[in-house]
Amino acid sequence: MKLDVVNSAGQKTGRQVELSDAIFGIEPNDHSIYLSVKQYLANQRQGTHKSKERSEVAGSTRKLHRQKGTGGARKGDTKNPIFYGGGTIFGPKPRNYSFKLNRKVKELARRSALSYKAKNNEIIVIETPEMDKPSTRTYAGMLKGIGADGGRSLVVLSESNVNVVMSGRNIQRTEVATAADLNTYAILKAKHLVLTEQSVAAINQMAEQ
């Protein structure tokens, strides 16, 4: 598959890039995408939730009334879980939600997500943005010029560029990433996948690995 390269104003430059069929043209595997997204979201969880159990609640340990002879149910102290302010039964405890996923499964999921984007014509290839200093206005103008301002966008660079990252971080619904850091979740969440010429070459090299 070949795509035209456009400049920041959305005008064709006369150049084209080749998208590797081994990356952008495979039959998507939905289950691998599910597993990859599930792992990514699980890894974002802090797992620091905690509720106090009966032994951790502050309060007196005095028995409320005698065991027998009252005509009512037997009771312990005020920390009894059935009372307001008592401990929690089987409450959440700190835990680690992350889990292992094979590298080949994650790679298949990433290729499947890229193939979906190519199939749905949601990929835009641009010239590498040249920014001498951070400029939110320039970054926003680029998104508008290439028609990527109408939804969430993901701009993929071949290598990290501080000026581009700082220019885009104040704009909602846009994200800047490098080709090496691409993940399935970010690709699927973006409506417009904006690739630079160099990042396309970097992604195509994945097929050779």
User: Which residue range is the domain that position 125 belongs to?
Assistant: 2-46+102-208
Same structural domain, 204 and 174? yes
Query: Of 176, 151, 144, 147, which Cα lies nearest the Cα of 163?
Result: 176
In a domain, residue 149? The reply is yes
Would the pLDDT of 22 be above 80?
A: yes
Residue 83 included in any domain:
yes
pLDDT in tens, 23-70: 999 999 999 999 999 999 999 999 999 999 999 999 999 999 999 999
Q: Same domain, yes or no, for 41 and 57?
A: no
Do residues 188 and 85 both lie within one domain? no
Based on the fold, state whether residues 127 and 109 are members of the same structural domain: yes
Burial of 190 (0-12, 13-18, 19+ CB in 10 A): buried
pLDDT band at 129 (very low <50, low <70, confident <90, very high): confident
**pLDDT, tens digit (0-9, with 9 covering 90-100), for 158-184:** 999 999 999 999 999 999 999 999 999
**86 with 112, same domain?**
no
Question: Do residues 79 and 106 both lie within one domain?
Answer: no
Asked if 155 contacts 194 with a C-beta cutoff of 8 angstroms, the reply is yes
Whether residue 195 is predicted with pLDDT greater than 80 in this model: the reply is yes
196 located within any domain: yes
Q: State the average pLDDT over residues 143-157.
A: 92
The two tokens of residue 126 are: 């641009």
Is there a single domain that holds both residue 184 and residue 82? Answer: no
Strand partners, 110: none
Give the pTM: 0.83
User: For the segment 116-128, what is each residue's pLDDT rounded down to a tens digit?
Assistant: 999 999 999 999 8
SS (H, E, C) 69-108: CCCCCCCCCCCCCCCCCCCCCCCCCCCCCCCCCCHHHHHH
Mean pLDDT of 79-103: 94
* Mean confidence (pLDDT) of the chain: 93
pLDDT at 208: 66
Q: Is the pLDDT of residue 189 over 90?
A: yes
- For residues 160 and 109, membership in a common domain is answered with yes
Instruction: Give the residue-averaged pLDDT of 62-82.
Output: 93
Measure the CA–CA gap between 123 and 2, rounded to whole angstroms: 11
What are residue 206's DSSP bridge partners? none
CA distance 122 to 195: 11
Q: Per-residue pLDDT for 71 more than 70?
A: yes
| Number of domains into which the chain is organized | 2
What is the model's pLDDT at position 10? Answer: 87
Looking at residue 209, what is its pLDDT? 60
Maximum alpha-carbon separation in the chain: 95
* Nearest-angstrom CA–CA distance, 151 and 135: 20
128 and 197 housed in the same domain: yes
The whole-angstrom separation of Cα 195 and Cα 141 is 16
Q: Are 113 and 156 in contact (CB under 8 A)?
A: no
